[in-house]
Structure 1
């Protein structure tokens, strides 16, 4: 099920594409270790297509078709073992990365439009983590968050947004009604 992105419009999509191009130019596009050789080669194009006309669900569907490894190495107490890649790996990757580009674009919009940002739940979860719950409704500094996301590629950021796999958290623009 797709995340509910309140501000996913043409302006946001254009800025998402600019952020993807920024990463391509700087060779900082996140390539999950779960992507196979075909997936690594196709991922930037598949991501660009999802940003242009789709969403995280369409990205996940395209990743599911031959882009992921069947097995991955995992560390154990005695060394390493081969384990099956989780059946929802395509969804976790798609949700996380589409959301990151969406958040980066909204940070830029908030800066340009002098708007505020707040954390909200873009995906309903049956058992929300207390840490995620505590972030709901919090205001976010768009400059700090944009810099954080650009410099911390992958899952973990210093500011904790997005809040890890399956958190369901994103941000939205808060437009002031003061005239």
Structure 2
């Protein structure tokens, strides 16, 4: 209806609320799936079992392309940088478009929060490292869309996020 042409599905990580229907949608639309990083294969492999456990419909699939840190993906005429950001899940990736100072970060970072690390193979140290050593260097002026909740900027989170602000890191994490 809007004239948009879907060309691919990008997956940040293997949790069912983010990719449980990716395979079904890809087949229906005839488009490929790119992402996440292959360390999330075990999450995707258990989608058929996780769906009923969480009262959601979810189906296992195989991405057409597993992504690695430093890869590029194209969407239309845009080229997005892939940054591997483990911690919430081991194979979590984010997509960054440097020219527009924009990132899609999945469940790594939220406005005033960070992703959970208490799932299998999640790791708080890895998550904090991903945020402070991989996201923050992209620039304070980067606007990000998280997997849940409102948008923010990396700069705002460096000032106010109770988990990963510069001040919180100096004091030690409040978790």
Using the size of structure 2 for normalisation, the TM-score is 0.24
More strand by share: 2
TM-score, normalised relative to structure 1: 0.24
Higher helix share: 1
